[in-house]
Structure 1
Amino acid sequence: MLTRKKVGFSAAALFFSVSLSACAGPPLQLYTLGGAATPAGQAQGLVAPGTPVLEIRRVSLPDYLDTQDIVVRNGQSLDRSPNGRWAERLSDGITDFIVARVGSARPDIFVTGQSLTGPATARLAISITRLDVAASGTAILEASWAVIPADEHQPEGQLQRGTISVSGPSKTDANIVTLTNTLIRQLSDRITQSLPARL
């Protein structure tokens, strides 16, 4: 037979555990760029001899952005999502996404984000100096990029610069991911269009 003291303790413990579960926030949600429909790039198999190799270096981002935090700009402050995160550092995710898109658009070259044992035909350096998604729904990206030939005797490609602006809902983490995804898609398209016909 339970004593009154034991019953009181059990009721208090049950109330405490229910209170904790009621206070728990939503579970952590991880996001990636491109989603499941991201192009796979070149077909699997051996790369044919003589195929040009383009190595895309890891994209450079401002330090405050190169994290897993999903942030939205509110004036001069950056608000971090309490339960949404990028699945990897943003610079890694952007690099992988651009590699996949450029590789899909240019099947005549082998595009990679990794340093290979053999020398690449050329390297692509990308610097994103601004990537802001504002609470107002306006998103802006500013970037520069250049193709650097492996052959030192070849002239470097002309430095390219671009600014991209899009707008849309920005109330949720999914909205911010969609806006960022749109910016990087448009950047990858501009990069692809600027690549020389032959590396």
Structure 2
Amino acid sequence: MNRLHLMCMHAGRLAGWMSEMTALRFPGILLLAGALGLTGCMRYQQAPLYQLDSGEIRVPAAEQGIAVLLGPVAVADYLQREALLQRQADGSLTATEDARWAGSLAADIDQQLLRQLASRLNSQRLVLAPATAGFVPQVRLGVSITRLDSGPQRPAVLEAQWRLAGADGKLLDGRLVRLEEAHSGSIVDQVRAQSLVVQQLVAQLAAAVETHGKPAPQVAPAPVRRPAPAKPAVPDVPRIPVAEPIRSEGEVFRF
């Protein structure tokens, strides 16, 4: 019994020691994991956020300006993210760790096109596709952006295609576009350069809408000239010969 009691006591002490060690070790592990996670979160939150710059735009004053249906606006898959990508010298793309977009770049592009185009056309009647009920566009503008990026040693490049159609769907104009803008290499200047190529694209779109979207000038019809009333026909009256005297030695009359 004494030996058995001793064995039970040693077993109890061992279990207690193991419990104490577990209690001491686990909080340390949890604290270390929490510290690492907090450091990662702080590093992620401290990364500066960027948006494309609209440039000098104003709120349109004309409520009855040209009606434009903008869209669909297709953006390349690799741009539909918050990561700010860097184009390397070999053409590859890498996500920068110390900067990112403030939200979805694709959504920002949609809003930039809409607001800048409305400002340039001075019209409140611009709607992103799909059109709302009751909206009747005068022109339809579709845009497809296949590239928008830059890198420390690569310029900002925008590649796109746009198509302008009338209210009846007939193609009025369209173009393939490649725009470039140099920069100093910093992230801030890269975002500035990318903003400029987007503004240049909007300038082309606005020029096309202004050229083809305005209705043809109405030409006033020429006044109808009524023919002058015909004069009544005068019947021919036989002319009576007039007697002319011929002066001679005698009075002779010739008819």
Matches of 1:38 and 1:161, distance apart in 2? 26
Measured after TM superposition, the shift of residue 83 of structure 1 is: 4.1
Match of 2:172 among 117, 133, 157: 157
> Which is richer in helix?
2
Structure having the higher Rg: 2
| TM-score, scaled relative to structure 2 | 0.60
Shift of 1:20: 7.5
Q: Supply the distance in 1 between the matched residues of 2:38 and 2:102 (Cα, whole angstroms).
A: 26
Match of 2:5 in 1: none
2:197 partner letter: L
Q: 1:171 aligns with which of 170, 181, 186?
A: 186
User: Looking at both structures, which has the greater relative contact order when contacts are Cα pairs under 8 Å and sequence separation is at least 6?
Assistant: 1
Residue pair 1:62, 1:129 contacting (<8 A) in 2 also:
yes
Contact residue 42 and residue 110 of structure 1 kept, 8 A: no
Q: Structure 1, residues 30-55: CA drift from partner, whole Å, max 9, x if none? A: 222126x66243249xx34xx43102
Aligned position for 1:41 = 59
Give the unaligned 5+ runs of structure 1.
Answer: 1-8
Tell me which residue corresponds to 2:69: 55
Deviating above 3 A after TM superposition, structure 1's stretches of 4 or more consecutive aligned residues are 15-24
Aligned length: 188
Which position in structure 1 is the counterpart of 2:161? 144
What SS class does the counterpart of residue 175 from structure 1 fall into?
helix
Alignment partner of 1:132: what SS? strand
User: Which residue number in structure 1 is paired with residue 230 of structure 2?
Assistant: none
Quick check: 2:49–2:100 contact (8 Å CA) kept in 1?
yes
Q: 1:113 maps to which residue?
A: 128
My pick for the range that moved more, 122-131 or 80-89, is: 80-89
Q: 1:58 to 1:32 in 2, by over 3 A?
A: farther
Query: Is the contact made by 1:138 and 1:168 (CA closer than 8 Å) also made in structure 2?
Result: yes
Q: How far off its partner does 1:66 sit?
A: 2.1
Alignment correspondent of 1:3: none
TM-score for the superposition, normalised by structure 1: 0.75
Q: Which amino acid aligns with 2:99?
A: G
Distance in 2 (alpha carbons) for counterparts of 1:186 and 1:124: 16
Residues 113-122 or 161-170, more deviating: 113-122
- Report what 2:102 is aligned to: 87
- Which residue of 24, 27, 32 maps to 2:51? 32
Is the aligned partner of 1:193 residue 2:207?
Answer: yes
CA RMSD of aligned residues (A): 3.4
Are the aligned partners of 1:59 and 1:91 in contact in 2 as well (CA < 8 Å)?
no
